[in-house]
Structure 1
Amino acid sequence: MVAPLASAGGVDARAAANAALTSRWAKPVVFTLALVPLVWTVWLAYTGELGAEPVLESVKASGLWALRFLLIALALTPLRMLTGVAGLARFRRMLGLFAFFYAAVHLSTYVGLDQFFDWPAIWKEIVKRPYITVGMGAFLILTALAATSTDGMVKRLGGKRWRALHMAVFVAGLAGCLHFIMLVKGWQTAPLVYALICIGLLAFRRWPIRLGQRKDGRRKEAPVRTRPAAAPRSGEAPAPHFPDGSSPVRRS
């Protein structure tokens, strides 16, 4: 009795989660919540509570939220596979675009408020500092993914090429984690945790494909079903048949 009840409870919870995620209010709520970190950072800067270096803290906060939203977007597919809640897939594109949005805020704050649009100095920083080079690479990948995220671009590129291109999101995630690791001084726990999460999501994404290939390789051919031989009429000799039950007349 316990197992069926647990199963029924799981089905009810899954149905309730799908109903909530597919409702007309789900996307506006998620959109509003995704803007909270930006509003909070602006409020802290306005009230003077971002510390002695508010511009630097703003750059750090926006970059960190870009990485967080990217990892959340990457985690939706594994969560959907583990929980069976198909409604999670509705938010993958939105959260991926928010990752690009916060990355753009991160770069804009650095270029405009930290460097004051001093393009020669910015170029020297990109070339001189490897962590900025890696970060710029991640941003360029996110820009390409954001530009091709529309339904029209899916049709233009074709599903196969579009999926191959958007697998680069994992490269952007790994580059973002590496950017974070190289940015901090010394070996700190937080950047390594983000990197491990990204690697784990990439491994989980590849594991079901391998599992499916093993199942396909182990699949055996179904046995051929044969009809039973018809009973002979009285006075007639039984019709000859091969060992598998087929008739030589039908084989000819």
Structure 2
Amino acid sequence: MMKTKVIAHFLAWFPLGWLVYAIFTRQLGGDPQEKLLHELGGWSLIFFLLSLSMTPIKLLTKKAQWIKYRRMLGLYAAFYLFLHVVVYFSFYLLFDFAELFSEIVKRPYITVGMLAFLAVIPLVLTSTKKAQKSLGKNWKKIHQLAYWIVALGIVHFIWQSKSDLNEPLLYVLWGTVLVFVRFKYKKIQKKVDRNKVN
């Protein structure tokens, strides 16, 4: 398990490592800032979807160890999202808070993106085992925000993608499958619980 986690951490850091390398070797194309912003946002969404995929994979394989990667993947998703926002705020807005507020008001896709970013904060703050224990059932309710974050992230991605919708539509399909599996499992679980009562 330890060896697998080390590999998982390495793979999670790999996109950032490649981006840093690409910056120094000038491989980000004609608009490196936009490419960097796009890549960081994309990887954040991928890690969120991977994190949400752990429960369905556990159900399909009947192996509980997949759940152990859920928190780790969620934190990497938050990390890449944080970098995405930092790149936007620094390179595009030059750390101008007034301009940030103006962009949030004027551009709906920025509004949606910032809502997703704000929703991530409570998930990160309650990601520890201590927080999970102290919050009890409320912890699950808070962490269901992850589905809303993914939905907001996909809307943000589609809105700013303009004509090229191939990549965001893959995320739509992935997210739809996850929601379907989740509700299907809940339906089965409720049926099992009713049978136990009877």
TM > 0.5 between the two?
A: yes
Write out per-residue CA displacement over residues 17-73 of structure 1, whole angstroms, 9 at most, x where no aligned residue: xxxxxx222222211110000010111111111111111111000000000000001
Q: 1 or 2, which has the higher helix percentage?
A: 2
- Report the counterpart of residue 75 of structure 1 in structure 2: 53
**Counterpart amino acid of 2:103?**
E
- Report the counterpart of residue 96 of structure 2 in structure 1: 118
CA RMSD of aligned residues (A): 1.5
Q: Cα distance, 1:123 vs. partner? A: 1.3
Distance in 2 of aligned mates of 1:201 and 1:190? 17
| Higher mean C-alpha deviation, range 26-35 or range 130-139 | 26-35
Distance in 2 of aligned mates of 1:134 and 1:48? 31
- Report the counterpart of residue 102 of structure 1 in structure 2: 80
Gaps of 5+ in 2: none
- Report the counterpart of residue 167 of structure 1 in structure 2: 144
Distance in 1 of aligned mates of 2:72 and 2:164? 33
Normalised by the size of structure 1, how large is the TM-score?
0.75
Q: Cα 1:220–1:119, aligned 2, differ >3 Å: closer, same or farther? A: closer
8 Å CA contact 1:56–1:114 kept in 2: the answer is no
8 Å CA contact 1:178–1:195 kept in 2: the answer is no
**Counterpart amino acid of 2:96?**
D
Q: Cα distance, 1:214 vs. partner? A: 2.7
Write out per-residue CA displacement over residues 116-173 of structure 1, whole angstroms, 9 at most, x where no aligned residue: 102211211111100010011111111210111011211222x200011111110001
Moved over 3 A (4+): 215-221
Distance in 2 of aligned mates of 1:47 and 1:189? 28
Q: In the TM superposition, what are the counterparts of 1:150-189 in structure 2 within 5 Å? A: 150-157=128-135, 159-186=136-163, 188-189=165-166
**Counterpart amino acid of 1:174?**
A
- Report the counterpart of residue 229 of structure 1 in structure 2: none
8 Å CA contact 1:174–1:199 kept in 2: the answer is no
- Report the counterpart of residue 191 of structure 2 in structure 1: 214
Equivalent of 1:198 in 152, 175, 181: 175
Query: How many residues of Structure 1 are paired with residues of Structure 2 in the alignment?
Result: 198
- Report the counterpart of residue 6 of structure 2 in structure 1: 28
Q: Cα 1:38–1:115, aligned 2, differ >3 Å: closer, same or farther? A: same
Using CA pairs below 8 Å that are at least 6 residues apart, which structure has the higher relative contact order?
A: 2
